């Protein structure tokens, strides 16, 4: 079943009176539990595609349906609610809240949704971190964690709300090869275990074998293999 | 505990500078307010305590008790004015007095009266007086006989009353005969006849100033009690001056909060981008900034209150610093409003944070 369905999506920026096409009639679909690697050079539009898929940007043209929600016409507030409840993000620079412990960084998602970090939420955060091999690091601040551990906390945060789609923005770029591979193995295992769809933006071809499918993007255009049957 | 409060608990050093600066400003606000209140209350107690509705001065006195003289004919006209129910004469003599067993003179405002002010009994017998507690603070005790003025008119203190001082001098409430004696013996150049008083305290209803001044054909100038308080020399000027300084200080509080939280917001733009990306609304992020500003203001208020209370205890009694619950409340409200408005300066910056900034440079 399709989790992400982007059809004929264009994104045009206006710069100094000139239109710059960042995404040109992109069509891509991602199914439940499917991991798609998005590969392309700098400036090819992969970040734009990821941002539109996650409701961070709105498309100039085309339709974007995520988990059954057609977000093409959503306003900023609707997109905020949508992101909070339906999408998980793992950013390139990790970006954990520096003054919160590993456990609290997961509970932030609950707090943003109006939760009070109650017993149930704490239980879920602990369970997630335990699954990610961080059961002994619950009370550590990000500064007390290694790069790989921080990235695993970020993965836990992305998974906290049981999203249908998780978007990874170059999740291994700040890690050495060995740790990067461990993180990719973890991502693969977690996505498959939860039957969660994922798009992983990367420029590292060594990491693409963890994905079910690789989509290439050049100058805002996706290659022909991006549409699944 | 919410995210903003957790940040304050885990990273207190980030908020120390703002808290220290605001604490000093809060102390300054309460100190200035306390001085204003002390000056105002110390200058006006004798008039504020009057249980009347209007004060009648002679028209040429420019609303000054010292210059005013009300004749028996004017008094009769006032008593016949529509709305007037009760009339009492009043007069003040500002002099120095010798207190037994004290080398220094104390300043007293000998106040002759007919209608008792709040807390003051019916006029006592000749040469007895009820003293304001300000005189008690200066060593006057019940039973002491004060020798008033260069003529050393003896007045025996038979009791005390609170908050009735006049022009920062402790009042000594006496009957009109004693007041005239004090005035005439010490100020022969400004002697008053037996039927003369400086002013009248009037109880009644309706538009008393208009009806009284009409009844005396312009021989009098009548003020409401509130206006008479503000007509005391220097009171309005003091109040306006101090209020200007207090408002300016509040503006500085606003500027400090605004600047501090603007810088803090600037530092947090990246974090705000991430939080917005994972579902934080602008409203939630901005309310976090406001919450932190309000918290800093509350801590500053508590520290400022303690410092100003300590200062009040350490200062000599002559310094007219009076910290009232109303002043604490108004300072607290002023600090909160300035904190909220100051933090609002960050709203535009928080609103402009693009959640897409968290993910590469797509925006």
Measured CA to CA, the distance from residue B206 to residue B84 in angstroms comes to 9
Mean pLDDT of B227-242: 92
Mean pLDDT of B139-144: 94
Give the confidence band of B319 by pLDDT, cuts at 50, 70, 90: confident
Mean pLDDT of A101-126: 86
Measured CA to CA, the distance from residue A12 to residue A220 in angstroms comes to 10
DSSP run (H or E) holding A109: helix A102-112
- pLDDT higher at A172 or B62: B62
Q: Is B189 exposed, middle or buried (0-12, 13-18, 19+ CB in 10 A)?
A: exposed
- Cα–Cα distances in angstroms (integers) from residue B294 to residues A112, B5, B13, B157, B235, in the given order: 21, 11, 17, 51, 34
Mean pLDDT of B185-192: 91
Alpha helices in B49-126 (DSSP H): 72-79
CB A103 within 8 A of CB B299: no
Model ipTM over 0.85: yes
Q: pLDDT at residue A114 above 80?
A: no
Residues 6+ apart with CB under 8 A from B189: none
B276 touches chain A (CB under 8 A): yes
Residues 6+ apart with CB under 8 A from B124: B130, B158, B173, B174, B175
A48–B3 C-beta distance less than 8 A: no
Mean pLDDT of B159-187: 96
User: What pLDDT does residue A229 have?
Assistant: 34
Mean pLDDT of A43-72: 91
Q: pLDDT at residue B331 above 90?
A: yes
Nearest CA of chain B to the CA of A219: how many Å?
14
Give the confidence band of B361 by pLDDT, cuts at 50, 70, 90: very low
Alpha helices in chain B (DSSP H): 3-10, 13-48, 72-79, 133-137, 176-186, 208-215, 225-231, 235-267, 269-277, 282-314, 325-344, 347-352
User: What pLDDT does residue B144 have?
Assistant: 95
User: What pLDDT does residue B363 have?
Assistant: 33
| Sign of the dihedral defined by the CA atoms of residues B48, B54, B55, B57, in that order | positive
Nearest CA of chain A to the CA of B25: how many Å?
29
**DSSP per position, B318-363:** TS-----HHHHHHHHHHHHHHHHHHHHTTHHHHHH--GGGGSTT--
Nearest CA of chain A to the CA of B54: how many Å?
59
B314 touches chain A (CB under 8 A): no
Q: Across chain B, what does the average pLDDT equal?
A: 93
User: What's the token pair of residue B200?
Assistant: 């009248």
Torsion of CA B49, B50, B55, B60, to 10 degrees: -60
B195 φ, ψ (degrees, to nearest 5): -105, 15
User: What pLDDT does residue B211 have?
Assistant: 95
Pick from A91, A111, A170: which is nearest to B274 by CB? Answer: A91
Pick from A47, A109, A113: which is nearest to B360 by CB? Answer: A47
**DSSP per position, B172-226:** EEE-HHHHHHHHHHH-GGG---TT-BSEEEEEE-SSHHHHHHHHTTTSEEEEEHH
B359–A56 C-beta distance less than 8 A: yes
Mean pLDDT of B76-105: 94
A51–B359 C-beta distance less than 8 A: yes
A83–B355 C-beta distance less than 8 A: yes
User: What pLDDT does residue B254 have?
Assistant: 93
Query: Which residues of chain B have a CB within 8 Å of the CB of A48?
Result: 362
Mean pLDDT of B297-305: 96
Query: Which residues of chain A have a CB within 8 Å of the CB of B363?
Result: 51, 57
User: What pLDDT does residue A78 have?
Assistant: 93
pLDDT per residue as tens digits for the range B13-29: 999 999 999 999 999 99
Measured CA to CA, the distance from residue A194 to residue A191 in angstroms comes to 5
CB B44 within 8 A of CB B235: yes
Nearest CA of chain A to the CA of B267: how many Å?
13
Measured CA to CA, the distance from residue B204 to residue B81 in angstroms comes to 10
User: What pLDDT does residue A225 have?
Assistant: 54
Q: pLDDT at residue B300 above 90?
A: yes
User: What pLDDT does residue A66 have?
Assistant: 93
Q: Token match 């997961």: residue?
A: A106
B210 touches chain A (CB under 8 A): no
User: What pLDDT does residue A170 have?
Assistant: 86
Q: pLDDT at residue B9 above 80?
A: yes
Which of B82-86, B283-287, B350-354 tops mean pLDDT?
B82-86
User: What pLDDT does residue B360 have?
Assistant: 62
Give the confidence band of B7 by pLDDT, cuts at 50, 70, 90: very high
Which of A45-49, A91-95, A105-109 has the least mean pLDDT? A91-95
B358 touches chain A (CB under 8 A): yes
pLDDT per residue as tens digits for the range B252-276: 999 999 999 999 999 888 889 999 9
Mean pLDDT of B267-286: 90
Mean pLDDT of A183-204: 88
């Amino acid at each position: 079943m399709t989790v992400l369905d982007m059809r004929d999506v264009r994104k045009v920026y206006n710069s100094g009176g000139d239109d710059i096409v960042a995404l040109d009639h992109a069509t891509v679909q991602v199914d439940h539990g499917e991991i798609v690697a998005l590969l392309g050079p700098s400036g090819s539009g992969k970040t734009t595609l990821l941002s539109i898929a996650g409701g961070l940007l709105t498309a100039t043209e085309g339709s974007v349906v995520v988990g059954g929600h057609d977000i093409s016409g959503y306003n900023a507030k609707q997109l905020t609610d949508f992101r909070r409840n339906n999408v998980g993000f793992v950013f390139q620079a990790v970006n954990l809240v520096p003054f919160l412990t590993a456990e609290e960084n997961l509970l932030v998602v609950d707090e943003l949704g109006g939760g009070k970090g109650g017993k149930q939420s704490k239980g879920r955060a602990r369970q997630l971190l335990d699954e990610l091999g961080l059961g002994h690091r619950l009370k550590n601040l990000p500064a007390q964690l290694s790069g790989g551990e921080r990235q695993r906390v970020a993965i836990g945060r992305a998974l906290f709300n049981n999203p249908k789609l998780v978007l990874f923005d170059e999740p291994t770029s700040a890690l050495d090869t060995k740790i990067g591979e461990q993180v990719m193995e973890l991502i693969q295992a977690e996505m498959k275990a939860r039957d969660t769809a994922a798009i992983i933006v990367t420029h590292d071809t060594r990491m693409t074998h963890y994905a079910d499918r690789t989509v290439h993007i050049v100058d805002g255009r996706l290659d022909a293999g991006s549409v699944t049957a | 505990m919410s995210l903003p409060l957790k940040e304050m608990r885990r990273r207190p050093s980030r908020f120390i500078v703002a808290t220290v600066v605001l604490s000093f400003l809060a102390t300054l606000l309460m100190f200035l307010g306390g001085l204003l209140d002390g000056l105002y209350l110390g200058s006006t107690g004798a008039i504020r305590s009057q249980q009347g509705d209007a004060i009648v001065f002679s028209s040429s006195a420019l609303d000054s008790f010292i210059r005013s003289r009300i004749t028996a004919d004017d008094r009769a006209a006032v008593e016949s004015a529509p709305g007037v129910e009760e009339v009492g004469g009043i007069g003040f003599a500002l002099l120095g007095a010798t207190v037994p067993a004290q080398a220094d003179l104390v300043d007293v405002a000998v106040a002759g009266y007919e209608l008792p002010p709040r807390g003051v009994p019916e006029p006592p017998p000749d040469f007895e007086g009820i003293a304001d507690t300000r005189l008690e603070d200066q060593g006057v005790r019940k039973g002491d006989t004060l020798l008033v003025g260069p003529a050393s008119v003896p007045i025996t203190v038979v009791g005390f009353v609170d908050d009735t001082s006049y022009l920062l001098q402790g009042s000594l409430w006496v009957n009109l005969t004693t007041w005239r004696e004090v005035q005439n013996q010490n100020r022969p150049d400004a002697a008053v006849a037996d039927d003369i008083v400086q002013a009248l305290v009037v109880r009644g209803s309706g538009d008393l100033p208009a009806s009284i001044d009409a009844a005396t054909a312009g021989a009098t100038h009548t003020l409401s009690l509130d206006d008479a308080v503000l007509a005391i020399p220097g009171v309005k000027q003091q109040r306006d001056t101090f209020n200007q300084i207090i408002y300016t200080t509040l503006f500085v509080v606003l500027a400090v909060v605004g600047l501090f939280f603007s810088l803090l917001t600037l530092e947090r733009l990246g974090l705000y981008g991430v939080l917005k990306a994972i579902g934080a609304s602008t409203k939630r992020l901005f309310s976090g900034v406001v919450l932190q500003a309000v918290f800093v203001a509350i801590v500053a208020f508590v520290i400022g209150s303690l410092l100003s209370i300590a200062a009040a205890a350490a200062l000599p009694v002559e310094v007219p610093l009076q910290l009232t619950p109303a002043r604490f409340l108004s300072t607290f409200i002023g600090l909160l409003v300035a904190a909220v408005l100051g933090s609002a300066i960050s709203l535009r910056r928080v609103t402009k944070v693009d959640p897409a900034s968290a993910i590469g440079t797509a925006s």
